[in-house]
Structure 1
Amino acid sequence: MEGISVPGIGSGLDINGLVTQLVAVERAPAQQQIDSQRARALSTISALGKLNSALDAVKNTFSAVSDGSAFNRRSATSADTAVLTATASSAAVAGRYAVEVTALATSHKLSSGAFASADSSVGTGSLTITVDSAVSVLNIDASGQSLAAIRDAINAAPDNPGVDASIVTGTDGAHLILNARNSGAAGAISLTASGGDGGLAALTYVDGGPSNGLTQITAAQNAQVTIDGIAVASAGNRIVDAIEGVTLDLLSATPGSPIEVRVARDTAAAASAIGSFVSSYNALVKTSLELASFNATTGSAGPLLGDSTLRAVRSDLSRALATRDGGTSLESLSAIGVRVALDGSLSVDSTVLTQALDNNQESVATLVSADGALGKALNTVFDRFLGSDGTLVSRSASLNAAQRALDRQQQQLDLRIDATEARLRAQFSALDSLLAGLQSTSTFLSQQLAGTANSNA
């Protein structure tokens, strides 16, 4: 069995300590260089990521302005929202309309007479339920003739024509209630009975019939509206496109009292879109100033101080924003109240912008459109820096490649240091063995000399 080897035990040298210190001295310069380069690369990658995100936000908010959708929106307002509310799509045409709600759409509802309980027998035979052109025939036998069983049969019928059945129990007994699922005249329910013991006659109803077993609680009725004197009917209380591009939601009937509905351009949507673009641009300016900052007191600098890419983004955007478009009566952003401050940020004069949108919305839309001079200039900048082969993408790719190269350098350094440590340990182990041998020889000679001296005495 091999003995246990403890470096330095023979010579008394601290071999482990010596090797560790020498290895640390050998590693330090190269390791510091790798760590410093890695830290700079990571800091730059992070900074470029922030710049990319801020510029992408500017691109997205400008797209929301330049695609024209914000300028195609319309608003619809009702003079009395307790009677009706209105919304408008981009297809709506500006105008004022007098809308009179003479009747709301209602769903047909029927009720049976009172039975002692839900378990009371009604009768046997065939019960035919009709709604518009849909028909369901239920065959009721003695085992399923209770009020509750008939309710369940109606609800479970695979060809149910659009009727929900329930039971309401009052002081006088249990009533079968039938509700049409759809409102309007077309949802009217009719029920007829045939065969059996005749008891199902208590559940029959035909509009205008002389001997109905069911009582009408609510009639099946269409909504009735007049728009500028033109009659409009609807099965539901939502009327779509009677006024082109406008949806009316009816809430109450007020015969003889027209309500004004006004459709107008929604300038607030366009103003909001332009405001969002300005806000995102100012966020980019703030981010770029932070990334290129320098604190004279502490000497600390932003990760992109003096960076050519950051300077190019700022300068290219500034030139694009200054673009003038001679093809429209509003030639520049300043004409609609968007102005550049000394620090490069933008501000909006809401009064000027509102006037431009109220008086000349088409020209505002043309100025900021993707096909206009301003839009083309800005999109060129976005493509240059944010495109698949843009500057920010290529810079990040280059830095990531540098990171991989540093990983390889680290691996090579680790291998070299491991080899150096192994060599030093071998050398010091050999020295330890040599010194141990010399000490052993010295001890032997000393003992021999001492013995000789004693024998001569």
Structure 2
Amino acid sequence: MVSSIGIDGLISGMKTSEIIDQLLAVEGNQQKLLASKRTGLQSVVTALQSLNTKVASLGTAATTALKAESWQATTATASSTAVTAVTSKDASPSSLTLTVDKLAASQSTLYTLPSSYTSGKPGFTLTVGGEAKTIVASSPHIGDVVAAFNAEGTGVTASAVNVGTADAPVYKLQLTGTATGADNGFTVAATNANEGTSLTGQELRAAADAKVTLWPGTPGQTEVTSASNSFKGLLTGVDLTVSKAGTEEVTVTVARNAASMSKLASNLVTNLNAVLGDIADRTKATSGTAADGGSILKAGLLSGNTAVRVLQQSVLAAGTIEVDGKSPASVGIVVGRDGTFTFDEAAFTTAYTEDPAAAQKMVQAVSAALETAATAASDSTKGTLTAQITSYQSEVTDLADRIADWDDRLATRRASLTRIYTAMEVSMSQMQSTSNFLSQQLAQLNANNAS
């Protein structure tokens, strides 16, 4: 802003800076109108963007519920804690009876080191699962021997066991395999002991596979072994882990996961209400104050918006669609008198338990209708809300440019008015100087005539 300080009432006595401000205020009304319009449009853009995000989430929930694999979720239960079952997406309803005959074990052996190991660097040949490895300790000290066997990748863990007393310790070397299974047993031989001296060992536990018997006591009885206590894919898409051996028959049952199915429907209702709630909040009228002080109703920000109204009608219709003469309420998707939805999990569970296929068909019909409505509104290229947002954003940008132009125009106008009033004051100053000169000349002339 160009300052007008220094010209106020210089000769005329007028407050020229105030006059200029008032003139610019009148001319700047158009800029204020543009700014007000821009603010209003930006509010609409923000509201539409918020709604569009919720609609997109509704579309995602609907798409998920439409996928066949979303309805394949299963859970597995076992009749005994001796067996734990975990399912994957490939599992299907089934059952299996078995006994846990044996748990997998790793080998554990106690070794007496050769008495000749009193100096130098003791060496050993460790063979694990048929693979031979050379182990060399830095000294005969039991701690160094243990450290050598505990090096990374040896396939065993080592510890020193004192079988003597605290005052007269006698150490033995205990080796334990890091992997279970019969094929993971090991042997150890001393490679540089004196002639006639060998490494003796006492097996504490043999390496063993886990073993289960399927369909025990039937003609189909079959034994299955595993190097670990886990049996991968014993049933399609089902992994079993055994933790206790015994003669007890254990039944593993794989069933559809009703809770996961219920979640699909529940997510639809949650996202549906989010969309409808946002529309209700943005379109409802609010109380306001008129210019005369009276009360008036102010229309909601998005009231009268055709795209929003169509969206509201579409999702309401989708949420109440009928399938085979039944409404979504039959699977717990219930619409209230106020137009909002609730989800009755108990009703869904009952419906799904009685007829899984029919419950799935109903939820997927609702999902298909909701996906269509959501796509029509929020598609990134041709959605009705997307198009409005793009259009309004362009208007907001254009208004911002026009407001900026007005800044330049008003600044130029201020400078022009300042020059005009400055010139006026200068002209009036010159006229006053001329007037003073003439007055002085007349006074002098009168004085001369009088004399």
SS at match of 2:416: helix
Percent identity reads 25
Distance in 2, matches of 1:351 and 1:92, equals: 25
Structure 2 counterparts to residues 7-406 of structure 1, below 5 A: 7-8=7-8, 10-11=10-11, 12-27=13-28, 29-81=29-81, 83-113=82-112, 121=118, 124=121, 126-138=123-135, 144-156=139-151, 160-167=153-160, 171=166, 172=169, 175-197=172-194, 201-202=198-199, 212=200, 214-229=201-216, 230-253=222-245, 255-296=246-287, 299-325=297-323, 332-369=327-364, 374-387=366-379, 388-406=381-399
SS at match of 2:418: helix
SS at match of 2:286: coil
SS at match of 1:263: strand
Q: Is the 8 A contact 1:125 1:197 kept in 2?
A: no
Q: CA deviation at 1:67?
A: 0.8
* Deviates most, 99-108 or 407-416: 99-108
Q: Please list the CA deviations of residues 323-373 of structure 1 after superposition, one character each: whole Å capped at 9, or x if unmatched.
A: 4445xxx7542443323222222233444422321122123223344xx6x
Change (3 A) 1:122 1:382: farther
Q: CA deviation at 1:431?
A: 0.7
Amino acid at match of 1:268: A
Q: Is the 8 A contact 1:122 1:200 kept in 2?
A: no
Q: Is the 8 A contact 1:44 1:304 kept in 2?
A: yes
Change (3 A) 1:123 1:358: farther
Gaps of 5+ in 1: 203-211
* Deviates most, 289-298 or 165-174: 165-174
Distance in 2, matches of 1:186 and 1:449, equals: 135
* Deviates most, 93-102 or 419-428: 93-102
Q: CA deviation at 1:392?
A: 1.1
Q: Is the 8 A contact 1:97 1:260 kept in 2?
A: yes
Q: CA deviation at 1:423?
A: 1.0
Distance in 2, matches of 1:217 and 1:23, equals: 101
Amino acid at match of 2:46: S
Q: CA deviation at 1:163?
A: 2.4
Distance in 2, matches of 1:215 and 1:411, equals: 92
Q: Is the 8 A contact 2:59 2:375 kept in 1?
A: no
Distance in 2, matches of 1:166 and 1:394, equals: 73
Q: Is the 8 A contact 1:10 1:435 kept in 2?
A: no
Structure 1 length-normalised TM: 0.82
Q: Please list the CA deviations of residues 169-221 of structure 1 after superposition, one character each: whole Å capped at 9, or x if unmatched.
A: 6843555443322112222121112345369844xxxxxxxxx2x44344322
Change (3 A) 1:48 1:168: farther
SS at match of 2:80: coil
Q: Is the 8 A contact 1:124 1:196 kept in 2?
A: no
Amino acid at match of 1:340: V
Amino acid at match of 2:331: I
Change (3 A) 1:303 1:181: same
Q: CA deviation at 1:390?
A: 0.9
Amino acid at match of 1:390: G
Q: Is the 8 A contact 1:123 1:197 kept in 2?
A: no
Amino acid at match of 1:379: E
Q: Please list the CA deviations of residues 58-117 of structure 1 after superposition, one character each: whole Å capped at 9, or x if unmatched.
A: 212222221133321111112333x2322223433434433332332222233444899x
Q: Is the 8 A contact 2:160 2:171 kept in 1?
A: yes
Q: Please list the CA deviations of residues 376-420 of structure 1 after superposition, one character each: whole Å capped at 9, or x if unmatched.
A: 433322221121211111111001110111022112212221221
Counterpart of 1:410? 403
Change (3 A) 1:241 1:419: same
How many residue pairs end up in the alignment?
A: 427
Distance in 1, matches of 2:100 and 2:382, equals: 60
Change (3 A) 1:451 1:261: same
SS at match of 1:242: strand
Q: Is the 8 A contact 1:337 1:350 kept in 2?
A: yes
Q: CA deviation at 1:317?
A: 1.9
* Deviates most, 311-320 or 120-129: 120-129
Distance in 2, matches of 1:245 and 1:41, equals: 55
SS at match of 1:252: coil
Amino acid at match of 2:244: S
Distance in 1, matches of 2:378 and 2:183, equals: 58
Q: CA deviation at 1:136?
A: 0.9
Gaps of 5+ in 2: 217-221, 290-296
Distance in 1, matches of 2:239 and 2:428, equals: 102
Counterpart of 1:427? 420
Q: Is the 8 A contact 1:124 1:198 kept in 2?
A: no
